[in-house]
A and B are shown apart, each in its own frame.
Chain A
Amino acid sequence: MEYTVGNIAPIFLSPVIAFVINAFFGRKLPRQGDWLATLSIFISFIFSARIFGDFVFGTFATDFFIHKTFTWFDLSHGANIWKVDMGIYIDNMAAIMLLMVSGVAFLIHLFSTWYMDHDEKHGRFFVFLPLFTSAMLGLVLSDNLFSLFIFWEIMGFCSYSLIGIYNKKEAAGDASLKAFMTTRVGDVFLLLGMVAIWMVIGSVAYVDIYAAIAEGKFAGQTVIGISLATFAGLCIFLGGMGKSAQFPLHVWLPDAMMGPTPGSALIHAATMVAAGVYLSLRMYPLMVLGDLTWFIAVIGAITAFGAATIALVQTDIKAVLAFSTISQLGYMMIGVGVGSYNAAFMHLITHAIFKACLFLSAGSVIHSVHEQEMPKLGGLRKYLPYTHFAMMCCTLAIAGIPFFSGFVSKDRILGDALYFGFIAGQNPLLAIVPILGFAGAGLTAFYMFRMMFLTFYGENRMGHHDSHGDEHAHGDHHHGHDIHHEHLDARSNVPLLILSVFTLGVWFAGSLTGQGIVKVFGEKTEWFKILVEAPKVERFVKHPREAFGSTDSRVKAELPKAKYDHQSGYAGPNPDDHKIHSAHVVGAWMSIVIAFLGVFIAFLMYIKKSIKPLASMFPGYTETLKNKYYFDNLYVDVIIKKGLLGLNRFLSWFDMGIFDRFAVDGWAAVNRVLFKASKWFDNVVVDAIGVDGTGVAVNLFNLVLRIVQSGKIQFYFIMLIVVLASYIWTVNI
């Protein structure tokens, strides 16, 4: 159980090395170095799997963690401690996250080698993809907010590059800029939050923050009138909102699909959007201390429901997935907010897997038929059987159908939300959280199956648009009869099938549905619930630090083992446990009913066609949804055009009308009077006495100086020596 730099660093370093090699020599390598990038991620995966195995399969205790630090720079001077440490922090959550990121990223890389083949941006794509992955892995390994922020920004840059990789398309460039600028809003707040934390405890390491919370260092500290914990927590959460595309800052994510689909898979599924949720989970004690959980839950609920409604009317297959991502991220935030730490993280993992699979499947569809508008697709089931299978598994998962992973994780979140909203005795207005959550779940089931039915079922509508087919570059590829039958291929659809295996719920929960009702593999499979829990801050007080290079001195036998006891039953000492259990049971049944209802309506609408799509009944609302609640318009037309330009106009009016007319012109009038006086003064006093007099004086003085300032170096030597000698003679040493 030796954890040294040697077996942790490759996780992060091997993709970085691949990035460096590809960036400089990628063009000279065979296949532009895509195999190198894939191999590097596989190496990361191997090392991550080792850590995962150690942490999860009974080696370590629930609250075990590895924390190794080294001093990055030390400017301490006397009593002023000014020292920045960097380091690695791995606990159960990070171990699971590492495995998920490296595994999903590896499959995405593998898929990309097929998807991006013969693409003109092939090489550039495989420069940024490993860098992106390494940044996410580094973020997970980080032990403090500072290095987290560094990797956070690297990811921002990489997402900017990947979204805008087709830099000849103007829309791609705009989308990349939009993503970059929108997330920057959050990043500024994150930095502000870090500064606030640094002010209090002089460190941004997780363990120091936890210890400070436990010691009550935040108590009584205020910033601009509000509690510092609230301020810092809010700022950090705003950073997470930007990255995880939460409600006001969600606008960048739908546009991010301008990039290649595997890149979207990496951004939307495994890495970047997960970072915000991951950060919120890491800072959960701070959020609790700052009393922000209700705020997080409300934001999450609004996002979950709002994005789901927008997804109802999208016709682009990737847009549907993009909005569903926002919606699911909302669920994760609900989970964070309602205190269901473990379920929120589980949803992060399950969502990462099935959303990666969904995006890759969408990529497979797009690559096969060169079309991504759903009304022009249909009946692809018989052409793309493997893709259809994988996508169906994932759709079942995201829709919350029992036995699939999405049901397990989402249902736990919703169960906790139900308790949070109705039973916990909070503000009654917070009941909006479970209501919006359940409504969003139903809509999710509906729009996902709408997408499946439109794409894979019904008759093939590919032939109907021959008239404008020539607009596309690959004119002869998109006729319906030209679609080739899909074959099993290690690079194109095996990654999808591997991912779809992990959409089953049993991998994550101890029972088939995750409610502890039908237990399959015994208690031990309930590992997720046991191993992941909110950090107990008291534990981190005065925790010793380990030097970076040191090997782990603890003997394996002495380490406390994780106990797989009956924690899963809600029969603890808390009197509310019974209520929580009831809420979960009610929630489970409600979500099953709602999910099936959604699927059934979709079936009626798009297969049986017995119900007309509702769009015709609410034309105005549909228009609103199609325009994504006018958020883009809000930002561009209202905030930028009305707000900023209005301010601009006001300022210019102030400048020209008020300042120029009164201040400048008035000052000129005053000056005119002064001018008369000063002219007289100038002529008489300055010119006659001052200037001419000075000239005469300088001329006189010049006669002396000219001799001394001869420009002859030897004369200067002589002066130097004489002065020095006279000095020595006078001071009498």
Chain B
Amino acid sequence: MMSLVSYLIISLILFIVGLVVMIARKNIIAILLGIELILNAAALNFVAYSRYVTNNLDGHVFSLFIIVIAAAESAIGLAIVIRFFQIKETIHVDEATQLRN
């Protein structure tokens, strides 16, 4: 049951779900949720390959960096969301059109 492919399939499902969330949702926070899912799918792949293929811990280190970057990204992203909400009173992504035209 446990093999590289099973982890890859879980990661693929996570990735697709994250993609669907990112594309289908118009709520900026929900898009960030999708991004988290996609990042975690990638990190899971790294760790799985690290165990089943490369036999060293570089994959672990990579996924640690992914976690760090995800944390930084969500902090900045949510700060932008809050600022955006203060200005536009909405967090609908289609409302972010100030630079259009």
Chain A interfacial positions (CB closer than 8 Å to B): 711-714, 717-718, 721
Contact = CB atoms under 8 A, between A and B. Distances in A.
B93 A717 contact: no
Contacts of A711: 97, 99-100
A717 B23 CA distance: 7
A483 to B, nearest CB: 76
A717 B22 CA distance: 8
A721 B19 contact: yes
B48 interface: no
A711 B31 CA distance: 16
- Which DSSP category, helix, strand, loop or mixed, fits chain A's interface? helix
Contacts of B89: none
A180 B94 CA distance: 65
Contacts of A712: 93-94
A517 B62 CA distance: 86
Interface string B79-101: 00000000000000110010110
B101 to A, nearest CB: 10
6 residue pairs, one from A and one from B, having the closest CB atoms: A714-B23, A711-B100, A717-B23, A717-B22, A713-B93, A718-B23
A718 B19 CA distance: 9
Contact of A713 (B19, B31, B100): B31
A720 to B, nearest CB: 10
A718 B99 CA distance: 21
Contacts of A714: 22-23, 26, 31, 93
B79 to A, nearest CB: 18
A717 B19 contact: yes
17 contacts: A711-B97, A711-B99, A711-B100, A712-B93, A712-B94, A713-B31, A713-B93, A714-B22, A714-B23, A714-B26, A714-B31, A714-B93, A717-B19, A717-B22, A717-B23, A718-B23, A721-B19
A704 to B, nearest CB: 18
Contacts of A717: 19, 22-23
A698 to B, nearest CB: 16
Given A713-B31, A714-B23, 7 more contacts: A711-B100, A712-B94, A713-B93, A714-B93, A717-B22, A717-B23, A721-B19
Contacts, number: 17
A31 B86 CA distance: 57
Interface string B16-40: 0001001100100001000000000
Contacts of B97: 711
Interface residues of B, number: 10
A708 to B, nearest CB: 14
Nearest to B100: A711
Nearest to A718: B23
Contacts of A718: 23
A721 B38 CA distance: 13
Nearest to A714: B23
A674 B100 CA distance: 42
Nearest to B25: A714
Contacts of A721: 19
Interface in B6-23: 19, 22-23
Contacts of B19: 717, 721
Nearest to A721: B19
Nearest to B99: A711
Interface string B53-89: 0000000000000000000000000000000000000
Contacts of B99: 711
A711 to B, nearest CB: 5
A187 B22 CA distance: 66
A717 B19 CA distance: 8
Nearest to B28: A713
A718 B93 CA distance: 16
Contacts of A713: 31, 93
A721 B19 CA distance: 9
B94 to A, nearest CB: 7
A712 B31 CA distance: 12
A620 B87 CA distance: 85
Contacts of B31: 713-714
Nearest to B97: A711
A87 B31 CA distance: 60
A148 B82 CA distance: 58
B53 to A, nearest CB: 16
B34 to A, nearest CB: 9
A718 B20 CA distance: 10
A712 B24 CA distance: 12
Contacts of B23: 714, 717-718
Contacts of B26: 714
Nearest to A712: B94
Looking at A712, A714, A717, the one whose CB has the most chain B CB atoms below 10 A away is A714
A180 to B, nearest CB: 49
B33 to A, nearest CB: 14
B91 to A, nearest CB: 13
A717 B18 CA distance: 12
Nearest to A713: B93
A714 B93 CA distance: 9
A711 B23 CA distance: 14
B48 to A, nearest CB: 19
Nearest to B34: A717
A712 B28 CA distance: 12
A712 B93 CA distance: 8
A213 B68 CA distance: 59
A713 B22 CA distance: 9
Nearest to A715: B23
Nearest to B26: A714
B75 to A, nearest CB: 19
A219 to B, nearest CB: 56
B92 to A, nearest CB: 12
Nearest to B94: A712
A713 B24 CA distance: 11
A231 B100 CA distance: 66
A714 B23 CA distance: 5
A153 to B, nearest CB: 44
Contacts of B93: 712-714
B29 to A, nearest CB: 14
A725 to B, nearest CB: 11
Nearest to B22: A717
A508 B98 CA distance: 86
Nearest to B31: A713
A721 B18 CA distance: 13
